[in-house]
Every structure is written in C-alpha cells, then in structure tokens.
Chains A and B, each alone.
Chain A
Amino acid sequence: MLEVKNLKASIGGKEILTGLNLSVKAGEVHAIMGPNGSGKSTLAQVIAGHADYEVTSGAVEFLGKDLLDLDPEERAREGIFLGFQYPVEIPGVNNAYLLKAAVNAKRKHHGMDEIDAFEFLKLAREKMTMLGMDPVFLNRGVNEGFSGGEKKRNEILQMAMLEPSLAILDETDSGLDIDALKAVANGVNSLRDPERAIVLVTHYQRLLDYIEPDYVHVLSGGQIIRSGDKSLALELEDRGYEWVVEAASA
C-alpha cells in the first residue's frame, strides 16, 4: 500500500530524513519508534504533504500512485489520514461542519453523492459513543478549548468518519491519561481492517500494550535502523534506544 524508497527530506535547509525505506501493506499495523529528534514526526508530515518540508530525493508511492505529486488535500481524499500530534484549534468553525465537509470532499473525489445530513449525524453519534465523547463536541469549534485528551479523541473521531486506507497517528498517546488512552486505543482497534493499514508514531511502548503492532521500526538519524516484531518494542522499553543506535553504526 505504502512504499517509501530512499526518502530524503529537509526543513529550512536541514536534512532530517536521510534515506528512509518503509513498506506497509494493507491490514498491517506498524509502529515507528525512536528517540526525540530522530525524524518520526517529519516522516508523518512529509507523507501528509506539509509544505515546510522539502523532499530532496527518493519516492513515496501510495496504492501505486506517486504521492509526492499530490496536494495535501488530494492525498487525504486518496485515503491518507494523519492524526496530528498537536491538533489545531480553529475558532468559530463548527466541529460537525468540518467533519461533514471532509467526508463530502472525499466522497465527491470518489464520485459519490454527498452524505445525507441525518445519516451523517447518526454515524457521528455512533462513533462518538464508541470513543466516549459527549455529542456536544459536534457543535463546538474545532478543537477550540478542548483538553489534550479531547483533542486526541477528536482526531480518532475524524479518522473513524473518514475511513482512511492508511492512518498515520503521530504521538497519539502523548498527554493522555489512562482512560483516554484506552478509549483512543479502543477506537483505533475497532478500525483495524484487512483493507486498512495503520502506522503508529510513538516515543513510548505504552500505546503498544493496547494496540498490538505487527512490525516495529526504530528510526534514528533519519533512517530506519532496525525492524522487528512486537518484542523489539519491549526490548527498547527495557534497554533504551542507545544500543540499537550503537549496533547500527558499528
């Protein structure tokens, strides 16, 4: 589904990704871990198409299409979802309005009719119940005055509504208490599907107790320096990142 080949990307002239390779297939859950500043968030932002990052070489293919040619909104409509580490507040813009506009933008892109207003509300309420969100959030401004946990739940709500083929969740677990973490994990697990891939970007192993990954990758210095299964995450938890970095440079 997603093929990242020798990807190099920089911001403000500083190279962050230095030749990264990653292959994700439908139905898989990948966890990308690594120390601070290793390039985890950069990878997420580059795949989503943030213009601050300049791709200097390499390729990213998504479902056989060259992703780097597309605008951020086109990537989203093709089925890529980024759960933001810091979800953005948009005062005055109704949460439901943004959600509906996003759903319809995608449907239109795929030649479908706009979603029926009643259908939309019903669906949104369903998903909110699953995530333990109060329906009043639908009528609040996008992330406006939300707590950290509410913002992250709101991200998962959007993901659930948009049903992406590939979801990249950037530090979705940061700043969550245990109840919020469980609710978020629950939401993500309910979206696991043979047709869908999920990439978890995280600093800690904690999230992986609740969302079990098929593969774990260690990102350091802008490259994936080691890949393994779930046990790698536990080992990292135990021994920290240093040994992997040393082993890689040896």
Chain B
Amino acid sequence: MSTDPNNLESLVNRRYEHGFVTDIEADSLPPGLDEGIVRAISAIKKEPEFMLEWRLKAYRHWLTMQEPEWAHVHYPQINYQDISYFSAPKSDSDRPKSLDEVDPKLLETYDKLGIPLHERARLAGVAVDAVFDSVSVATTFKEKLNDAGVIFCPFSEAVIKHPELIKKYLGSVVPHRDNFFAALNSAVFSDGSFVYIPKGVRCPMELSTYFRINAANTGQFERTLIIADEGSYVSYLEGCTAPMRDENQLHAAVVELVAMKDAEIKYSTVQNWYPGDEDGKGGIYNFVTKRGDCRGDNSKISWTQVETGSAITWKYPSCILRGENSVGEFYSVAVTNNMQQADTGTKMIHIGKNSSSTIVSKGISAGRAQQSYRGLVRVMPQAQGARNHTQCDSLLIGKECGAHTFPYMEVKNPSAKVEHEATTSRISENQLFYCRQRGISEEDAVNMIVNGFCKEVFKELPMEFAVEAQALLNVSLEGAVG
C-alpha cells in the first residue's frame, strides 16, 4: 500500500452539504393510505373527475401488487401506512404569481443549495420549476416559453388547464399498473412538471426542475410528463436534494417522455438525495420509474444521469424504440459510498426498423457500498437492422464495496447487432503516486482519475450541469480511497 488508507478514508467522508431543514409550516395529510387519502389529494388539488378516477384505478391495482424483490438491494420492510402522502408549503392556498411572492425562506433554501432561482436562472437562461416537497412552487420564464408555444408548468396546473393533453398522454408510457412503485405513484402523486413542445419548435431554453424533499415522514411522489411533438426539441434538467434525517424517506417518482416523429428529448438528471450517514442511518429510498417512448420515426430520447445520492436507488430510465430509425441513449454515472446501495441501468426495447441504442454506464463504488448495473436490450423480431452498443465500466475503491453487472440481451432478429462490453478496475496506487510526484494532492488525484473515468458521460451533460456534476462527484467520494 503506497497510500495511507486512513488518509484516503477522510477524503471520502466529506459531509453531505445539503442537509438543512427549512422551517416552513407545511400543510400535510396524516400518515396512512386508503381511498380517502387518494380522494383527499385529488380534492386538495381541485382535480377534475377523470384524474380522481385514474388515481383510484391505480390505487386499487396497487393493492393487488407485491413489492419487487429482485433488485440487488436490501432494506427493512417499508410500512406504507407510516408515510404521509401529501405535504405542501402552507402558502399553497395563495399560490405565488411570481418569484417575488415566493416565501423568502424558500428562496433562501435554494440559495443554500446553490441554486439561486433569481440570478442563476436568469443568467443561465434556464427556466426552473421547483418542486418543494410535493408542490411546484414557482416557474420562471413563462412568458418567453409562452411565445414559443411551449407549455411548461406544474403538473397540477396542466391537469386543469390542458386536460386533453393529460388524458391523451398520462400513463401512455408508464401505465398505472406497470410496477409496484409506479402504481403507488399513480395513486398519490402530488405534483411534478408538465412539458409540451409543439410541432417544429426548438425549445428556446433548457428547462429545469429542482426537487427537494423537506418534511419528515413524507413520501415524495412527483410525476413528470414531457411531450415533444413532431420535429421539436427539448433539453430538460432535473436536480434533486433532500435534508439530512435519521429516518428513511420514500421517493417514488414517475417520468414519462413521448417523442413524436423527428422529435428529440434530452433528459438530464443530477440526483443528490440525502444518502444516509456513514453507518447507513437515514437517507432516501429512491424508487423511480423513468421511461421514454420514441413513438415516431427518427425520434430520439437521451437519458443522462449522475446519481450520487440516496440510500437506495432503484432506477432504470428506459427507451421504447418504436419508430423507424429511432435512437435511444443512456449515459450514466452512479456513485455509491459508505452504505449506499444502487441497482440501476436501463432498458432499450427495439421495435422499429434500424432503431439504435447506446448505453454507457460508469459505476463507482466505495466504502461498503454495493452497486449493480442491470440492463435489458431486447430486439423484437420486426426490428430489422437494430443496433446496440453497451459499455459498462466499474471502478472499485476499497476492499469492502461491491460492483455487479447484470446485462440481459434478448435478440429475436438476425440482422440485429448487439454488443456488450464491461470492465472492472480500481484506482491503482501507481496512478496516485504518479500524480502526487507531479505535485498534485492525493485528493485532487483521486478526483482527477474518477472524473477521467466518467468523462464519456459528463460530456453529454449541458455545460453548467457538467460542472455541478463534477463537483458533486468529488464531494460524494471524499475519503473513499483505500
């Protein structure tokens, strides 16, 4: 060992920076789940009848389902009756019309998170839809988007203002009965973002949402629906943080993307939910269903994710490549440290002729963390000429962590070409010594090497996010090298 393991340990063990609790009066429903709660959520949100019916259908189906156990993760049984399914900042009854009306404490919270909604959003030309606990708080840049015909609003607003779009697309990619957590989300989701890009429109700015779980014992169930109509383009960014708490909190979101003919959606996530402490106490259970439907010919959906947070991650952003020549991409960096567990990957379902997909997954496991890549590439008989390339690399830091790969390839067409490559490596002592001999500190050397390892994915992120992602990675890995 050329490196003092304790020293490296301290590098990895940097503290979670976003662990503060905002003291705002919250308007919560009592813990527990039954039809009454589902009806109450719908009523609070003044939803039309069709929404309530959809929720109830999902709830009744959820009752018949079993929590999945196949993932390579372990956690104590979740009691779904202990969770509060709705919590809104109190000012909800009087929704802010602009940022000036937003509770200053909230803005302060965003400041601490390093996302000053005001300046940063404006400077960066990013419209931000911030979901605090469960309700969308403020959306900026509405006018500019309006001019382009883009709809970008809280989901609850879309339900009321654009019921025809919701009716048409909600659940069309992730049906309410899709899986246990998606069904739960369908029953109780509180808010989220809705995006519609009309035909031929290139969205004039990057759209962005920040999600943050705040109240204790609340679950967060947001729902995002993005529709890119023919020939349109949108890039959407999603950031997530949560305060430090001793208890585990449940997050079960659903994201549905629909790309019509010639349309492209780029969806980027930087997920930094509270991961729990070094002994695995607390942290978010992140059970998310994300799926995109390349419905039209020549459509493209690209998922890029940087996952550094959460105690447990269960997440497989997927693409259904229905259109001819449609393209699906998945670029992922997942970091697990201490006691974190992640089971993440993607599914690429090739249906359309000459559809192609690319998967690049970079997993970094440190401390006592366990991380799995789980992926499915399925080529249906009609997907003539389908192509997939998968590259899946793991970097192990320390003796007690694990890195696992479960790639499924199911090919039913002889003209398909499917390739999977995977490697596992670690940061070598030689690499560290080499950098240090050039005057670079051990911590910087680790960061440099890890960033190099993740480069292929970072270059897919919008510039601003890439910088943030790199910083986040460095924070997550503090003290991780042994």
B186 to A: closest C-beta gap in Å: 41
User: Given A50-B433, A51-B3, A90–B439 Cβ distance below 8 Å?
Assistant: no
Complex Cα gap A102–B3 (Å): 19
Query: Quick check: A98 and B448 within 8 Å, CB to CB?
Result: yes
Query: Of B3, B439, B449, which one neighbours A76 at CB under 8 angstroms?
Result: B439
The segment from A25-33, A80-88, A174-182, A239-247 that touches chain B is A80-88
A81-114 with Cβ < 8 A to chain B:
81-82, 84, 87-94, 97-98, 101-102, 105-106, 109
What number of A residues sit within 8 Å (CB to CB) of B? Answer: 32
Is B438 in contact with A162, judged by CB distance below 8 angstroms?
Answer: yes
Contact of B440 among A73, A87, A141 (CB under 8 A): A73
Question: What A residues does B3 contact at CB under 8 A?
Answer: 51
B10 on the A face (CB < 8 A): no
Contact stretch, chosen from B86-94, B400-408, B411-419, B452-460: B452-460
Do the beta carbons of B455 and A84 come within 8 Å of each other? Answer: no
Which residues of the partner chain B approach A84 to less than 8 Å between Cβ atoms? 434, 437
A73 adjacent to B452 (CB under 8 Å): no
Residues of A within 8 A of B429 (CB): 51-52
| CB nearest neighbor in A for B427 | A90
* Complex contacts, B438 vs chain A, CB 8 Å: 73, 76, 98, 101-102, 105, 158, 162
Q: With both chains docked as a complex, state the minimum distance between the C-beta of B157 and any C-beta of chain A, in angstroms.
A: 43
Contact B2 A88 (CB under 8 A): no
- Are the CB atoms of B449 and A90 closer together than 8 Å? yes
- Contact flags A20-53 to B (C-beta < 8 A → 1, else 0): 0000000000000000000000000000111110
> Whole-angstrom distance between the alpha carbons of A94 and B442 in the complex?
17
Query: Is A91 touching B440 in the complex (CB atoms < 8 A)?
Result: no
Q: Is the CB of B455 within 8 A of A92?
A: yes
Report B111 CB to chain A, min CB distance, Å: 28
Docked CA distance A91–B431 (Å): 10
Tell me whether A141 and B452 are in contact (CB under 8 A). yes
Compute how far the CA of A48 lies from the CA of B454 in the bound complex, rounded to whole angstroms.
29
Chain A residue contacts of B4, Cβ below 8 A: 51
* Interface class of chain B by DSSP: helix
A81 to B451, CA, bound (A): 25
Q: In the complex, how many angstroms separate the beta carbon of A17 from the nearest chain B beta carbon? A: 17
B-side interface residues, number (CB < 8 Å): 27
What is the distance, in angstroms, from A169's C-beta to the closest C-beta of chain B? 13
Please encode chain A, from 106 to 147, with 1 for each CB lying within 8 Å of some chain B CB and 0 for all others: 100100000000000000000000000000000001000000
The answer to whether the Cβ of A77 comes within 8 Å of any Cβ in the partner chain is yes
**Nearest CB on B from A78, distance (A):** 9
CA gap between A89 and B440 in the complex, in Å: 16
Given the known A-B contacts A84-B434, A88-B430, are A105 and B441 also in contact in the complex, defined by CB atoms under 8 Å?
yes
Which residues from B are CB-within-8-Å of A72? 433, 436-437
Answer yes or no: B435 CB below 8 A from chain A CBs. Answer: yes
Asked if residues B448 and A97 are in contact (CB atoms below 8 Å), the reply is: yes
Separation of A40 and B452 alpha carbons in the complex (Å):
33
Which residues of B307-339 have CB atoms within 8 Å of chain A's CB atoms? none
Closest A-chain residue to B362, C-beta based? A92
A-B contacts at CB below 8 angstroms, number = 87
Is B35 engaged at the interface, CB distance under 8 Å to the other chain? no
Counting CB contacts under 8 A, is A71 at the interface? yes
Which residues of A sit under 8 angstroms from B453, Cβ to Cβ? 91-92
Give the one of A77, A81, A92, A101 with max B CB within 10 A: A92
A49 to B2, CA, bound (A): 9
Cβ-defined contact, B1 with A90, below 8 A: no
A106 to B439, CA, bound (A): 6
Contact status A73-B439, CB under 8 Å? yes
- On whether the beta carbons of B452 and A51 are closer than 8 Å, the reply is no
Which of A52, A90, A101, A141 makes the CB contact (< 8 A) with B434? A90
Q: Name, among B430, B442, B452, the residue most crowded by chain A CB atoms within 10 Å (CB to CB).
A: B452
Residues of A within 8 A of B456 (CB): 92
Asked whether, in the complex, the Cβ of A92 is within 8 Å of the Cβ of B439, the reply is no
Cβ contact within 8 Å between A88 and B434: yes
How long is the Cα–Cα vector from A192 to B448 in the complex, in angstroms?
Answer: 32
Q: Are B444 and A101 in contact (CB under 8 A)?
A: yes
CA distance A71 to B433 in the complex (A): 10
Residues of A within 8 A of B442 (CB): 71, 73
Inter-chain CA distance A90–B395, complex, in Å, is 13
Chain A 53-91 near chain B by CB (<8 Å), digits 1 or 0 = 000000000000000000111011100011010011111
Within 8 Å by CB of B439, from A89, A109, A141, lies A109
The reply to whether the CB of B172 lies closer than 8 angstroms to some CB of chain A is no
B441 contacts across to A, CB distance below 8 A: 73, 105
Q: Is the CB of B436 within 8 A of A92?
A: no
Q: Is the CB of B435 within 8 A of A50?
A: no
A77 partner residues in chain B, CB cutoff 8 A:
439
How many angstroms between the C-alpha atoms of A52 and B2 in the bound complex?
5
Q: Which residues of A contact B433 (CB under 8 A)?
A: 48, 50-51, 72, 88
Whether A90 and B436, one on each chain, are in contact in the complex, defined by CB atoms closer than 8 angstroms, is no
CA distance A156 to B76 in the complex (A): 57
Task: Report chain A residues within 8 Å CB of B454.
Answer: 92
Contacts of A94 in B (CB 8 A): 452
Does B28 have its Cβ within 8 Å of any Cβ on chain A? no
Contact between A90 and B452 (Cβ–Cβ < 8 Å)?
A: yes
Q: Which of chain B's residues have a CB closer than 8 A to the CB of A51?
A: 1-4, 429, 433
CA distance A162 to B444 in the complex (A): 18
**B428 and A102 contact, CB distance less than 8 A:** no
Complex CA distance for A78 and B456, rounded to whole angstroms:
35
Known A-B contacts A88-B431, A93-B448; A102 and B440 likewise in contact (beta carbons under 8 Å): yes
Known: A51-B4, A93-B452. A87 touches B434 (CB 8 A): yes
B interface, CB within 8 angstroms of A: 1-4, 428-431, 433-442, 444, 448-449, 451-456
Which residues of A are interface residues toward B (Cβ below 8 A)? 48-52, 71-73, 75-77, 81-82, 84, 87-94, 97-98, 101-102, 105-106, 109, 141, 158, 162
Which 4 interchain pairs have the tightest Cβ spacing? Answer: A92-B452, A93-B452, A76-B439, A51-B2
Q: List 16 A-B contacts (CB under 8 A).
A: A48-B433, A52-B2, A73-B437, A73-B441, A76-B437, A90-B434, A91-B453, A92-B453, A92-B454, A93-B448, A93-B451, A102-B438, A102-B439, A105-B441, A105-B444, A109-B439
A sample of 8 more A-B contacts (CB under 8 A), given A93-B449, A109-B439, is A73-B438, A73-B441, A76-B436, A89-B431, A90-B448, A92-B456, A102-B438, A102-B440
